[in-house]
Structure 1
Amino acid sequence: MSIRRDYIDTAIGQIHYRSSGDSRLGVPLILLHQVPSSSAMYDALLTELAEDYWMIAPDMPGFGGSDPLPGSITIEAIAKVFHEALSNLGVSQCYLFGHHTGASVAVQLEYDFPGVCKKMALSGPTLLNDSLRELLPTISCAFPVQEDGSHLIQMWQRIRGKDNDAPLSISQRETLLGIELGERYPDAYMAVIAQDYATQLAAIQCPTLIFAGTQDPLYGQLDDALALLSQGTRKEIKDGRTYGCERDADKMAVLLKDFFQ
């Protein structure tokens, strides 16, 4: 089944999204991407699960093909736009899946609009410890445009360093998306730091699956995140890394299908 691409109007402009599956399959599965990526990172999962779910993968405001927020980036503002976009698509309740930054937005969405999420799955929940809070501003700084193009090499090295065994096509796509953000590159990372994720996670009442690849930089946060959840389940993917939604799409599809069904 093919992946479709479209736009939905919101108060801040157009939100671009990918979709697959049949809307008659029932409660839709919403997939929220990490940064600096876009919904393109979900092409594999949109294909793997197309026979089982109607899926919608939106681009965050200012990422991929979506219009940017008019003001500063906050996780709350992103969640508000997504709630409006889903409402405009006729979605009142859904399954939510978020990876890294997408896991931040997923929790914020259910926290601000309780009941919109029937079940939630979080890959690499962003329950940051002190060391991660200190590290994140350093590893997410912007690279100003240089006459000699050295900023292009710097971005490539940053993205490649996240997983130097990843297919070059993934690294190239992510590098180009990061370059396109320019000076806005750090903004979403700073929004994740500012989010009171622990308080929000503890307030979530729907069944929630948390997992990560054992080589994912957020793998170490799983146990602390699980302890905050009232209906939490913990899983892991052996040797999975940052781009697990693509590199381990078959394993992730099994986890999600088992949990949501």
Structure 2
Amino acid sequence: MITRHVLTIPATGRKVHYRRSGSGPLLLMVHQSPRSSAEYERLMGQWSAHFTCVAPDSPGFGQSDPLPGEPEIGDFADALDEFLGALGVETCPAYGFHSGGIILVAAMQRHPARFTGLAIGGYAIWTADEMRVFGESYLPPFRPSAYGEHLTWLWNRMLEQSWVFPWFDVRDAARLPGAHADPARVHAAVLEMLDAGDAYRAGYGAVLRAPRDIPPPDAVSPPVLITAYAGDPLQSHIARIGAMPPNWRAAAVAKPAEHEAQSLAFLRHHAAGAPPKLGEDAGEGWLAVGQGLVHWKGTRGANRMTLHAPAAELAEPESGDVAIDVPGHGLSSDFADIGATIEAARAALGAADIAWPALPAGDPALLYPDLAPDRFGAHLLRAWSAARSEALFRPWYAADKDHAIPIDTAALDPAAIARRARARLRAGGAAARYHQFLTSLTGDGR
């Protein structure tokens, strides 16, 4: 089972979220941009038979705090070293794909004692002309707009990045062989971008600006394996790498499975010892309940465990309280039995009582529109429209004078709407099920 954890870096207070699975020697896994550690869930499920797999969200991505200022690749490399130190890991092998590999090579150059070896999927070495193209178009600002126009751009950007590379280069010469239009896959990438927000430019930009960091042939370096499969736009970059230390190897392979098999064999050969007890915060985490996880924050053993309303998500609990993302909402897994899961969470957290939310006013059939991902991304705009309207009317769908509420300008700030819309998108169909469960308690959710 993949578990999730939060670790605060003592020196800076920066929060790092990471996924973990398996047992045995530790393997660090660094994701590509603008993704999160979620992209490694499949691979962690396979490689956890050989390793304790640890995959952090890089700064500014997923659920990890961003780095301050305008960080460069060295800052991301140092942040990775800080994470390993706070985790309690002295040395380990590591795997990174695309920009994850760029960060790892920089980290190994600056902190060589941390790594026994690196396996990398594709290593980018851009030409000056390519960098000019990226610099002009690749990282536009991503900021919520009042009426959700940014979501139309985001959906199509994530949809078409499997069609052409770069995602805006709509020419036959730029076509990719693995094009798809899978709404579920696009939706998952969209949610990751919504988590990162404009911070994606810092992480992605640092990687794009990073210099070629291959050590000279006479350098003393931990071993590195770089492979790229057919269809990966970075496979052609293998020929650009040039001279390397003798314990480095770069090769083009035929298929993704071959890249993964060679990487795994290399990493197993360079495994370090079993990891110590890994560090994590005491005031936030995920409870394993059955086959799922419940996100919580606050104080274990609290008198009160607070629950949020349907289509919302965990708010910062009051001092001395504990709160959870209810099943299917926020960062919690979905569960068939909502009541049993809530009670299991209460017992595991040692809370004395539950503070139930009030039910939202209105018809449940209208309060929670269908937000299942569709081919054209229309569900994103439905979530945005509901989140905007609820700052003007109660219930939100009754747009008339009789249901108007006092206007709270803060609630109409695009960033605030974006948070509510993301909560709705995360909940999806679970919101209506949770509403129905609350109704079943006493008829009014209390």
- Is 1:31 the counterpart of 2:47? The answer is no
RMSD (Å) for aligned C-alpha atoms = 2.2
Cα distance in 1 for partners of 2:242, 2:248 equals 6
- Is 1:217 the counterpart of 2:224? The answer is no
Q: Given the superposition, is the C-alpha separation of residues 252 and 43 from structure 1 closer, same or farther in structure 2, using an over 3 Å criterion?
A: farther
Deviation at 1:125, TM superposition (A): 0.8
Corresponding position of 1:15 = 16
Cα distance in 1 for partners of 2:120, 2:226 equals 5
Deviation at 1:62, TM superposition (A): 1.2
1:78 maps to amino acid:
F
Q: Which runs of 5+ in 1 are unaligned?
A: 240-247
Corresponding position of 1:157 = 156
1:29-84 C-alpha deviation (Å, 9 max, x unpaired): 11101111000000011001111111110001111011111222222112212111
Task: Give aligned pairs, total.
Answer: 248
Identity among equivalent positions (%) equals 27
1:140-189 C-alpha deviation (Å, 9 max, x unpaired): 22244334423212112111222132643232111222234333332223
2:210 maps to amino acid:
Q
**Residue number among 198, 204, 219 corresponding to 2:213 in the alignment:** 198
Cα distance in 2 for partners of 1:238, 1:186 equals 32
Equivalences for residues 10-159 of structure 1 within 5 A? 10=9, 11-12=11-12, 13-22=14-23, 25-26=24-25, 28-137=26-135, 138-159=137-158
Cα distance in 1 for partners of 2:216, 2:44 equals 26
Note if contact 2:225-2:266 (Cα within 8 Å) is conserved in structure 1. yes
Note if contact 2:96-2:120 (Cα within 8 Å) is conserved in structure 1. yes
Note if contact 1:210-1:235 (Cα within 8 Å) is conserved in structure 2. yes
Deviation at 1:224, TM superposition (A): 2.1
Cα distance in 1 for partners of 2:32, 2:186 equals 14
Cα distance in 1 for partners of 2:199, 2:8 equals 23
Deviation at 1:213, TM superposition (A): 2.4
Corresponding position of 1:173 = 188
Corresponding position of 2:251 = 235
Cα distance in 2 for partners of 1:216, 1:19 equals 27
Deviation at 1:191, TM superposition (A): 0.9
Note if contact 2:62-2:196 (Cα within 8 Å) is conserved in structure 1. no
Cα distance in 1 for partners of 2:161, 2:216 equals 26
Note if contact 2:94-2:115 (Cα within 8 Å) is conserved in structure 1. yes
2:247 maps to amino acid:
Q
1:146 maps to amino acid:
S
The runs of 4+ residues in structure 1 deviating greater than 6 Å are: none
Corresponding position of 1:245 = none
Higher relative CO (Cα under 8 Å, sequence separation at least 6) belongs to: 1
2:212 maps to amino acid:
Y
Cα distance in 2 for partners of 1:43, 1:167 equals 18
Higher helix share: 1
204-213 or 78-87, which moves further after superposition? 204-213
Corresponding position of 1:182 = 197
1:114-134 C-alpha deviation (Å, 9 max, x unpaired): 122111111121222223312
Q: Secondary structure at the match of 1:69?
A: coil
Q: Secondary structure at the match of 1:126?
A: coil
Note if contact 2:31-2:100 (Cα within 8 Å) is conserved in structure 1. yes
TM-score where L is the length of structure 2: 0.52
Cα distance in 2 for partners of 1:209, 1:71 equals 33
Corresponding position of 1:244 = none
Corresponding position of 2:266 = 259
1:35 maps to amino acid:
S
Q: Secondary structure at the match of 1:215?
A: coil
138-147 or 106-115, which moves further after superposition? 138-147
1:96 maps to amino acid:
A
Note if contact 1:210-1:226 (Cα within 8 Å) is conserved in structure 2. no
1:9 maps to amino acid:
T
1:58 maps to amino acid:
P
142-151 or 130-139, which moves further after superposition? 142-151
Note if contact 2:98-2:124 (Cα within 8 Å) is conserved in structure 1. yes
Note if contact 1:226-1:233 (Cα within 8 Å) is conserved in structure 2. no
Q: Given the superposition, is the C-alpha separation of residues 65 and 142 from structure 1 closer, same or farther in structure 2, using an over 3 Å criterion?
A: same
Cα distance in 1 for partners of 2:86, 2:65 equals 16
Note if contact 1:226-1:232 (Cα within 8 Å) is conserved in structure 2. no
2:207 maps to amino acid:
V
Q: Secondary structure at the match of 1:60?
A: coil
Note if contact 1:213-1:236 (Cα within 8 Å) is conserved in structure 2. yes
